[in-house]
Structure 1
Amino acid sequence: MKCKHFLLPLFILITHHCLAQFNDTTHYYTNFSSAGSINKTDQTSTYLLNNSFKFGIKKKTFAMNFNNNWIYGKADHIISNNDFATSLDFNLLRNDSARFYYWGLANYTTSVSLKINNQLQAGTGGAYYIVNKKNTVFNISDGILFDRGDLFLDDGTHDVYSTYRNSFRVFFKFVIKDLIVFDGSDFIQNSLTRRSDYIIRSTTNLSVKLRKWLSFTTSYNYNRMNRTARENSLLSYGLTAEKYF
């Protein structure tokens, strides 16, 4: 049987205003990205859209970030992803060269793929720069979050719960000859009362600079919600345009 196969990757980050480095006159940044894919055969069709918006402020002793991400997709006309996350976080430092700082976080998530109807997290903790240089950054953080969740379990149970979690994160960034940037962050959030209740979030990015303002970027995201026994992963790639102001 003759089969027609059409694959169209549309992973293009269409307007990406990113502030990778703050200075005495630069205190704000915005970041908008949009990516997607379409895959069609004679028997199946799938598509996925991935959109995000970020806004940040940084002063000598204070930094704040507002992040939003929405992923929507269908497989054979059935919704596979309708995942939205928004977060507001801040850092408090003694000065702009301090290795240790305090952080706070508020995060809201709803996700079809992870069976999260609603989830709200809020908490605080501390972080430490093991290495903090222009071309190499390695940072670890730890703290306590209050988690209020409304989930759907595999057996159809409507699970509404509250728990405190330990939130541990590793962040890294490497810049090679101002042309290649490799960075990522990995979270594990364990419930303090239930060993099997944990959350894993991981993001890894690789960017190759084509021009001063243009890069080719590949990003891999992985999430697991062990309470619902669900996980998802997303590999995206495209062009990133940067503007400093």
Structure 2
Amino acid sequence: MKVLLTCIIAILYYLPVRAQFNDSTYYHLGLSATGSLNKTNTSDAYLLNNGLNFGVKKKDAVLNFNSTWLYGKQNRQLSNNDFSSTLNFNLYKTFPHFYYWGLLNYATSFSLKINHQTQAGLGIAYNLIDKENFNINISDGVLYDTSNLLADDRYDTFRNSFRLQYRMLIKDLILFEGNNFLQNSFANGSDYIIRSTNKLGIKLKKWISLTSSLNYNRMNITRSENLNLTYGITIDQYF
């Protein structure tokens, strides 16, 4: 793993660096490796949070692939083994600051008591603030959700999916960004999902940052939730 990470950093070091997508930028690669460790005389716990993001921009469309894996143990007992992989696209074809989106997501989660979950949906989004260093975006749409829970309970439902997203870069040094989702079932008011990821990054170079991430997830139908604070490095490369 150390050799692989060293090779990746060496390759990215020689790629041309840019701050964000622009007219001459068509690809984005992001890698993150964060975690936490706590050990005392009577207990020990650790948590690893790894992520991969790859994006492609072509004229009026953006395609993104994102995967995350959260793994942890507490006193040698498994606490987290949570995997999520998302493919989504944005289509900019109408008004300024407005676009359509589509999403396909697959997830498994030990901590949220999910064997398998697949979501697919469409919706609209609008940039309330759309500046180079400051962006606030809201989106809404409909998802079809089919899941298999750890209790071997299979169910399907349609959900309203609302998202608040933000990104703020201060003096090309400090980065705040977050994705926050609320997904309510149309059929059952007590069946809702909350997903919240908020990050603070301090750039060491344009392509590498020290990162702290706060993640909160709740799946109310299984009465399960998790809250995790991790820290590590993030590699961001546009080319």
Please, what TM-score do these two structures have when normalized by structure 2? 0.88
SS for the counterpart of 1:158 is: coil
Report the secondary structure of 2:237's partner residue.
coil
Distance 2:133 2:33 in 1: 27
Tell me whether 1:112 sits opposite 2:113 in the alignment. no
Q: Secondary structure at the match of 1:22?
A: coil
Aligned AA (1:161): Y
The CA distance in 2 between the partners of 1:99 and 1:93, in whole Å, is 8
Shift in CA distance, 144/202, structure 1 to aligned 2, threshold 3 Å: same
Q: Matches of 1:191 and 1:22 in 2, distance apart?
A: 35
What's the CA shift string for 1:57-83, capped at 9, x where partnerless?
012210011111111111122111111
> 2 CA distance for matches of 1:184 and 1:200?
13
Q: Which residue of 2 aligns with 1:44?
A: 43
After TM superposition, the structure 1 stretch with the greater mean CA deviation from structure 2, 129-138 or 100-109, is 129-138
Find the counterpart in structure 1 of residue 227 from structure 2.
Answer: 233
Alpha-carbon distance, 1:43 to partner: 1.9
Q: Which 10-residue stretch deviates more, 177-186 or 108-117? A: 177-186
Counterpart position of 2:132: 134
Map Cα deviations across residues 89-121 of structure 1 (whole Å, 9 max, x no partner).
0011127x8311110000011000000011100
TM-score (normalizing by structure 1): 0.86
2:116 is the counterpart of 1:98: no
| Partner of residue 217, structure 2 | 223
> Aligned partners of 1:53, 1:240: CA distance in 2, in Å?
10
Query: Could you say what secondary structure the match of 2:42 adopts?
Result: coil
Indicate which of 172, 178, 190 corresponds to 2:172: 178
Normalized per residue, the structure richer in helix is: 2
Residues 136 and 199 of structure 1, relative CA distance in 2, 3 Å threshold: same
Q: How many residues align?
A: 228
User: Could you report, residue by residue, the CA deviation over 1:117-136 in whole angstroms, capped at 9, with x for unpaired residues?
Assistant: 11100010111111111122
Check conservation: 2:47, 2:71, Cα contact below 8 A: yes
* CA positional deviation for 1:213: 3.9
Distance 1:103 1:230 in 2: 29
Say if 1:220 and 1:20 are closer, same or farther in 2 by CA, change over 3 A: farther
Unaligned runs of 5+ in 2: none
Structure 1 CA distance for aligned equivalents of residues 169 and 35 of structure 2: 27
Report if the CA contact (8 A) 1:19-1:29 is conserved: no
Gapped runs of 5+ residues in structure 1? 1-12
Structure 1 match to 2:160:
166
Q: Supply the AA of the counterpart residue of 1:146.
A: Y
Larger relative contact order (Cα-Cα within 8 Å, sequence gap ≥ 6): 2
Partner in structure 1 of residue 54 of structure 2: 55
Contact kept, 8 Å, 2:55 with 2:64, in 1: the verdict is: yes
Q: 84-93 or 127-136, which moves further after superposition?
A: 127-136
Q: CA RMSD in A?
A: 2.1
Q: Indicate if the aligned counterparts of 1:118 and 1:149 stay in contact, CA closer than 8 A.
A: yes
1:148 aligns with 2:142: no
**Counterpart position of 2:191:** 197
Distance 1:240 1:70, change over 3 A: closer
Amino acid at match of 1:186: N
Q: Deviation above 4 Å: which 4+ runs of structure 1?
A: 13-20
* Cα contact 2:30–2:234 (8 A) shared by 1: no
Rg larger in 1 or in 2? 1
Separation in 1, partners of 2:131, 2:147 = 38
Counterpart-to-counterpart distance in 2, 1:139 and 1:121: 21
